[in-house]
Amino acid sequence: MAGQLLGPSDLCAPIPEGATPEQCIRAWLDLMATCEQFLLAGLKRENASASDLREAYRRWYAGQMEEHDRMMLHLMERFLRHGGPHAA
């Protein structure tokens, strides 16, 4: 599991049987809020002041978007190399 961001799905808490879509969405939002708190805590640990924290978050987010863009370009190039949607 080295290098992976997510563990195996069997380690995840299952969605309760009979959960409504609203309950699933609420659980997802709670998870995202928790992840944000972990991210901010990690950034705060590296940066003491609130203004530094905002700047650290901006730098982190910009880095994430650069990485995302690089990955999308790589995937598009790979898709085109292998013939795209009209490959014979």
Comparing 7 with 31, which gets the higher pLDDT? Answer: 31
The total number of structural domains in the chain stands at 1
Q: Are 63 and 54 in contact (CB under 8 A)?
A: no
Provide the phi-psi class of 84: left if phi over 0, else alpha when psi is between -120 and 50, else beta: left
Q: Which residues contact 56 (CB under 8 A, 6 or more apart)?
A: 43, 46, 47
Query: What pLDDT sits at residue 39?
Result: 92
Does residue 10 fall inside a structural domain? Answer: no
Query: What pLDDT sits at residue 53?
Result: 87
Does residue 4 fall inside a structural domain? Answer: no
For the stretch 41-73, pLDDT in tens is: 999 888 767 778 888 899 999 999 999 999 999
Domain containing 31 equals 20-86
Query: What pLDDT sits at residue 1?
Result: 46
Query: What pLDDT sits at residue 16?
Result: 85
Does residue 66 fall inside a structural domain? Answer: yes
Query: What pLDDT sits at residue 2?
Result: 56
Query: What pLDDT sits at residue 19?
Result: 93
Q: Are 42 and 57 in contact (CB under 8 A)?
A: no
CA distance 50 to 31: 24
Does residue 48 fall inside a structural domain? Answer: yes
Does residue 11 fall inside a structural domain? Answer: no
Q: What sign results for the dihedral spanned by CA atoms 67, 68, 73, 79?
A: positive
Flag whether pLDDT at 87 surpasses 60: no
Query: What pLDDT sits at residue 4?
Result: 63
Does residue 7 fall inside a structural domain? Answer: no
Does residue 30 fall inside a structural domain? Answer: yes
